[in-house]
Every structure is written in C-alpha cells, then in structure tokens.
Structure 1
Amino acid sequence: RLRRAFWRWWRPVVTFAIPVVAAGMVSLWWNWARYGSIWDTGYVETETFSADWFFGLFGLTVGPARGILWYNPILLLAIPGALWFWRHQRRILLLSLALIVVYFAVYAKWYMWHGGYSWGPRFVVPMLPFLSLLAGPGWNALMSERVLSWFGFAAGVMLAIWSLLVQWLGLLAPYGLVQDRLATAVTPLFADVTFTDIQYSPLLLQWQAIRPDTIHLAWWRGDAWPDAVNWLALGMSLAGIAVGLLLLVQQVRSTRSDDREDRLRNWLYAAALTLITVALLTYYAGA
C-alpha cells in the first residue's frame, strides 16, 4: 500500500518539496555568507522563546493591541466554517487546525511575540490563508441568507467592512508614529500594559496620527495640496484592481473547468501586473 501511495503521489510531493528545499538552501547560504556559519541566523542569545506562553496567546488572538480578531474580525466566521468542514472535509479541517495551533503556540512563546514596531500580529500572517479557508463556508452561509436571514447578511457585511477599514487605518499613516508615542508615554518599551489596556490600542491611537502631513501613499501627498494626487500612480493602481476584478468575474461566471483557460487568465493577470509594476518603477526611478 505504501509503495502504491508513493508512486501515485511522488510527483506532487516532489513538486511541493523542490521550492521548499531550494528556499532552505538559499537561507543556509545567506547565513554562511553573512555570518560565517550556516547555523548562525544573526539573532543574539537574548532573543529566545522565553515569553509567558498564555500572555502571548492572549495577545495574538484577542488582545487589544495585537489580537488578530480585532484586525480581521471577519475571521470569526471560521468558527461556523469549521463546523461545515467537520461535516464535509474533515481532513482539511484537521490539517488546517494543526498548522494554526502549532504556529500560534510557537510564536506565543517568542520573547517578542507582538512583533515590535508592527501593525497587527505580523508573525501569524502566514496563517491567514488557512483561517480564511475555514471562514469561507461561514461567509457563504450568511450571504446566501440560509442563516439568520437578513440579520446574518448584515452581520457578514459589517464584519467585512470592519476588516477592510482596519487595513486602511494601518495603511494611511506610518505605525511608527503610534509606537514612538507609546514608547514615550509608557516605560519600558513594549511594556505589558500596552498590550492589555485598551486605551493603548493602536486601533484607537492610529486615528490621532492621521493628518494631511502624515498620509504618505504612492498616489497621495496630503501636504502637497493642491497637487496632492499623483494621477499616474493612482491610475496604475486602479488598472491593476480592474484587471483582477475582470478576471475574477470571468472565473466566477465560467461554467466549465478548463485548465488552459485558467492558465491563460493567470498569465494575463501576471503580465498586466508586471507591466504596471515596470511602469511605476520606471516613473519613480528618477524621483
């Protein structure tokens, strides 16, 4: 049985393993080139897994400063979504939960579990695809009005809007302004109280940091009014969004599963994004 399984699955396993092994080899080479040893990662001896484990778990999940559910409340739909996976795709659920639990458990123990100068819990970002996967059935149930009727639909929309607004809040102004303010108001730097007291939540303090002179986007400079808008950068960004939405709509409307058409769409999207990126880099090269 093992032999049959090996010959059946060796191609996808090898295909998956090749980039993983290649990335690991590049990382080891970088350690050797920069620090003189493949085992030296550049971290000092004081940087260890020495944090209070329960405090780290609290902070990464529901804490007011770095709790992932505050920064992505739509992930609450992963709870009902997990029930759907338990009934229909149990293996996928168990694998996803195993990865999520292990990842959170490991980084909760890291001495700087909060990620330092970062907007949200940056260390657990790699788990977002798995959490989003689990949230999918919950979202689908709310949008199809099978659950809680109009109230469920409204709740789903509100969670989505909240999640989007939080990302824009972190995007509009450099988060370092808030962290520098916290460092001045509360000592020592990254004191525990700044991760438990809601008055120090970046989600509240970031609003106070947003001013015309602190908004630095690729297409907007609030302190350069009336020439605040860079129309080329804005147009290129909107073009990338438009291309992505167009291909997404075509994919949703498609009634057939054609690998060639899927590959063509992917290549077109990649080509469009490449063209937009090259145009922006060329424009800003002399800036």
Structure 2
Amino acid sequence: MRTVSGERQPRGVVRNFHLPLAARSVQAHPSAASDGSGGGRAGSLYVAPPPSTTGQGRFPLPSPRGRPPAVDDTPSPARVKAANSPRRSAPGGPAVTSGTTPPSARASFRSRCTEMAGATAEPPDLTPRLATFRPLPRPAQLTLGLFVLALGVYLLALRTNYGYDGQMMYRVTESLAVRQSFQVVDPVWHMNEPYTFYGLAVSLLLLPVFLLGQALLHDGSRLIVLYEPTITALTVVAVHRLARELGASYVRSLAAALAFAFGTLAWYYSTTVFTEPLVGLAMIGALWSLYRYRRDGHARELLGAGALVALTLLARWDSLLLVIVPFGGYALIQVRGRLLPNTKWIGRLLLFAAPIVAALAVNLAYDWVRYGSPLDAGPRAQGGGAFSTPLLTGLYGLLLSPGAGIVMYVPLVLAVAASFPAFLRRWRAEALLITALLVLRLLVYAQWSFWDGREWGPRFLVPVLPLLVLMLIALPADRRIRIGAVVLIGLGVSIQLLGQIVPYDTIVWPQTAPLIVSTLGLHDAAGSSCLCSWVVDRAAATAMDFDPRFSPLVRQVVLLRQGTIDPEWQAFWPVLTALLGLAAAGILLLWRTARRLDAEARAKTWSLREARMAG
C-alpha cells in the first residue's frame, strides 16, 4: 500500500504520528492566565521542546489487524496556518490564543488516533509539562565568582614571602614613594646597591599598593599582601576566558581554571613577590588578545597584546628572547591570516610592536640611569649568575628531580601531555606557540647557574603553567584518562595544600639546610660551615634538589608528622579549615552554574538549527 506522498507502507505497520504544530508552538504559561486575582506572571512563556530525531515527541501505536488507512502526517501549509491562527472562543468561554491547543482539540486528536490504530487503550497524555520560569545565570557572574573564589583562598595565608628578589623590588618601590629615587640598600649580599639589577614592572605595580597602604594604614607595606593574590586570581580568570574563546564548554573551561588555581604552583606563588606570576598573566592575556584579533580583526586587540608582551619585557630582560620572539611569530601568522593589503598588514604589525619598542626604550633608559650607559649590563652579569650548568643536568632538575622537578610538584602535567595531541589537531598555531615558549624556557634556564630559582618547585617554569593547563580542554573522552586526570588534580591539590601548611621559606629551608650541612659535613675553602657562606649555601641547595632525603616535599611530610606547621595554621586551623570547606562549596556552586550555562548554550544552538531547517 502507498501513502498519499507515494511512500510504500509495510503491511501491518502503522506509522508514528507527530504532535500537531499547535502542540509544539509557544504556549502561554498557566500562571500568566488572568484569574481575577492578579497573581499570575504576565508574559511568562513556556516553549515546548521540538521532536527529536531519536523518537522523542512521538508515540508508537499498536499494530491493528488488517491494513490501516494510509496517513500522511506531513504538515501542509493550510494545516500550519490553521494551527497558528487565532480562534474565536465560544460565547462565555475562555479565549483561545494563537499557538495554544484547546482541550476539545486534544480530545479529538486522541479519538482519531484511537480509531486509526483500532485500539481501545487510551494514548498517553501529550500535554507538555509546564515549567516555571527560572532566569539563567550570566557568564559574567561565573567569571566574577571564579575571581572572588581564587582571591579569597589565596588570601587565607595572609603572608608574603618576599624572597631576595622580592625584597629588592619592594625596596625600589619604597624608594620611589618616599625618596623619589631608584637607589636602594642591599643589607645582605650587597649585590644590588645602589641600584638593583631587576626589572621595573613589579616595582611600578607595587607603587599604588604602597601609596594606598600609606594613606589608609600609615604603613605602605601592610597592603603588599594583596598584590600577588590579585595577579594570580586574574590569571585564573584569564585561563577560563581564553578556554571559552577557544570554544571549550563552560564546564571544561572552569575545570581548567580550577586545576590551575589549586592544583599547580600558582597557589604557592600567590604568597610571594616574584616576576614569574606577572609574566604568566601577561603571556596568557596576550594570547587571548591575539586570538580575539583573529576572530574579529580589531586593531585594538593587537595593541593590547603588544602592551601585555611589553609588560613581560619591563619585568624581565630575558623576555626579549623567551616571550617576544615566539609571540612575534604568532602575531605575524595572525595578521597575515587576515589577507590584508601589504601596507595595511605592515601597519598592524607596527601597532603590535609599538608598545614593545616603548618598553625596550624604558629598559635602556633605566640602564643608563643605573650604570651610565644603556648598553652596559652592570652587575647583572656577575650577580645574576652565569650559564654554567650542564644542559642535561638542568633539564633533569627542572623536569624530574625530587627537589625541583615540575612532575613532582605539578603532577597534572602528565594529563596535559595526554591532552596535547588533541589540542595540536584542533588549535595547531596555539599549540606550537605554547610548545615554543616551554622549550625556549627549558633550554635557557637548564643551563643557568640558579636553574632551580632557589624556591619551592621550578620557579622559572611558573610563567608557562597557565598555558600548559589550558590544554586540558582537549582532554580525551576516554574514561580511564579522565579518572587519571581527576586523581592527578587531587594529588596536585594535596601537594599545594602541604605547601601552605608547612611553608618552604619559613619552616622547610631554615630547618633542612642546617641538617644538610651537619649530615654531609659541608664547608667552604676557609673551613666555615656557616650558611652565610655562598659556597655552603649553594651546596645545601644542590643537595636539596637532587638528594631524595632532603627533598622539600619529603621534608614537609616529615615536619607535618612531627607537628611542625605554620603558626597561623596551628592557631586558627578550625577557622581556616571551615573557610576551605566554604570554598569547596563555592566550587560546587560554580560548577552548577557552568552546567546551566552549557545547557542554555545547547538549547540556543538547537533552536537555531531547528529554525534553519524550518526555513
């Protein structure tokens, strides 16, 4: 038997019937109906879901005996017009608006279905369930919540580890605010006087914080504790926003941002004053701006990316090779990809390079002030170390050593390695840029005399951590890989929490270095075993890097078992534990928000697809 449309109908089988168009159209919410009480929500709408290709929205009818009549359920233009046109109500009855199905029509539809099927069973009720209207969260709320969460957790430490580098950069800030001078005093090593050999960026960014503390609390150093947590929290937000820009879902973007925030060295270095977190923020911000330029073609994105790259040069001279060269090549690819005329694309590149040239001029002028010549390195060549470490030794130390290897402190990089092939296939240019940034940094600092950074973990690899964790958005869907990634994230969070409870700078190094000197019998050429000797200090640091007995992580576990922890945690551990629990609840809330935003995005995509098919 053939239907009206000419399609052959199998014997003994009845075709499934679609809902009428009126049942699929926009219907008025029942609470919006006027009942005379004024309590309805006017304008509230319910959108019934369209039928899917998997059979949802249809119901199978039992096969009758004999041959059923041929039915063509394809909606004709007349049926569409009749279904969507307003109907007049019966006298005294309720008005029937356009797009609604009156009860009489539903009953008639059921009776026709029953007659055609030859069955006595009542078909299921096809009336859509009416849902209450709930406003969906905005993406800005998720971004703000992520920033507040990260900043709040970072501020729980309420301490600032200046380190030697941070002390010198802070002294420049203090000198500028109090004496309007760049000259400082180095009371320990006397290498950074009368001028430091560090960059200006951190000192200039600390200046408004110092002035604010001086104005409010009469002590410029009181608010310095806010600087690095703010920089790191902004980096967390940048990871999330760049992941969204690349096309990742809200859930994956949030997962990558949270993994960076609490599963990497970002948590520990949020309590320090170093240049590396600032360089990391500037690099991921520059990548975000350049990717937006490829999408929109706005010149302001190039200018913003150039300004962020220039900030890395103001922070560290080595950014001239480690940051500007890779980003310059990536910017060239993005500009040439716009297929602009020769004069225009050269102008766009000059727009990107203008802030970098300005930063280079500032650095040269600063060298002229410090050393009397813009081309004179001054004491930077002596006090800053030298390329004296064998390459393989440095590579092993940065990657796998028990005291400073990135795999030991950030085990999440193993999941990043599993995500790299998929990330490379989808975002080839970005993957090559991140690889170039990592390889250049490894090759340069593996040969540096202070390759370990004299801190907890590989300090010089901290700037590339945001970009590495970004690759987690391409984590394969294999269940075993995802379970392994969750385990690695949990292990990383445990390591970072250990770094907060048993700090390296105030507990681990002061108690481990004398133990190393006495155990190994270290001394200098004059026979002194004092850690004030540069030779003894360096030998103790080397033993901590390569000897598992003195590894900072091993020593932290030992000290924790002995009850030697941070005084703040010892005094306020119930409060701090409760606050961390509150932060965990905040993470669950953000996760729920991200899932709702993904559901909204899928619904919009589905609606657009249905509209295109209908058109």
**1:53 corresponds to 2:401:** no
Question: 1:52-201 alignment to 2 at 5 Å?
Answer: 52-116=390-454, 118-138=455-475, 141=476, 146-147=477-478, 149=479, 151-176=480-505, 177-184=507-514, 185=516, 186=520, 187=522, 188-191=536-539, 192-201=542-551
Say if 1:41 and 1:13 are closer, same or farther in 2 by CA, change over 3 A. Answer: farther
Say if 1:104 and 1:229 are closer, same or farther in 2 by CA, change over 3 A. Answer: same
Distance, in Å, in 2 between the alignment partners of 1:42 and 1:248 is 50
- What's the TM-score, normalizing by structure 2? 0.34
3-state SS of 2:462 partner = helix
Q: Aligned residues, how many?
A: 235
Partner of 1:278: none
> How far 1:181 sits from its partner (Å)?
3.9
Distance, in Å, in 2 between the alignment partners of 1:67 and 1:34 is 38
Which has the higher mean CA deviation after the structures are superposed, 203-212 or 160-169?
203-212
Partner of 1:28: 363
Q: Is the 8 A contact 1:81 1:137 kept in 2?
A: yes
Which has the higher mean CA deviation after the structures are superposed, 62-71 or 24-33?
24-33
3-state SS of 2:412 partner = helix
Partner of 2:147: none
Q: Deviations over 1:108-149 (max 9, x none)?
A: 122101111x211111111101211223323xx3xxxx42x4
**1:216 corresponds to 2:567:** yes
Say if 1:14 and 1:170 are closer, same or farther in 2 by CA, change over 3 A. Answer: same
Distance, in Å, in 1 between the alignment partners of 2:462 and 2:580 is 23
Say if 1:50 and 1:244 are closer, same or farther in 2 by CA, change over 3 A. Answer: same
> How far 1:69 sits from its partner (Å)?
0.7
Q: Is the 8 A contact 2:502 2:508 kept in 1?
A: no
Letter of the structure 1 residue corresponding to residue 406 of structure 2 = I
Say if 1:247 and 1:153 are closer, same or farther in 2 by CA, change over 3 A. Answer: closer
Partner of 1:280: none
Distance, in Å, in 1 between the alignment partners of 2:587 and 2:485 is 23
**1:204 corresponds to 2:554:** yes
Distance, in Å, in 2 between the alignment partners of 1:36 and 1:230 is 52
Gaps of at least 5 residues in structure 1 are 258-287
Say if 1:237 and 1:80 are closer, same or farther in 2 by CA, change over 3 A. Answer: closer
> How far 1:96 sits from its partner (Å)?
1.0
Letter of the structure 2 residue corresponding to residue 48 of structure 1 = A
Distance, in Å, in 1 between the alignment partners of 2:577 and 2:365 is 37
Query: Which structure is higher in helix share?
Result: 1
Distance, in Å, in 2 between the alignment partners of 1:30 and 1:253 is 52
Q: Is the 8 A contact 2:394 2:451 kept in 1?
A: yes
Say if 1:54 and 1:42 are closer, same or farther in 2 by CA, change over 3 A. Answer: same
3-state SS of 1:189 partner = helix
3-state SS of 1:64 partner = coil
Identity fraction in percent? 26
**1:11 corresponds to 2:270:** no
Q: Deviations over 1:250-272 (max 9, x none)?
A: 23421456xxxxxxxxxxxxxxx
Letter of the structure 1 residue corresponding to residue 416 of structure 2 = A
Say if 1:196 and 1:240 are closer, same or farther in 2 by CA, change over 3 A. Answer: closer
Gaps of at least 5 residues in structure 2 are 1-293, 315-358, 523-535, 602-615
Letter of the structure 1 residue corresponding to residue 593 of structure 2 = Q
Structure of greater relative contact order (alpha carbons < 8 Å, 6+ residues apart): 1
Q: In terms of Rg, which structure is larger?
A: 2
Letter of the structure 1 residue corresponding to residue 304 of structure 2 = T
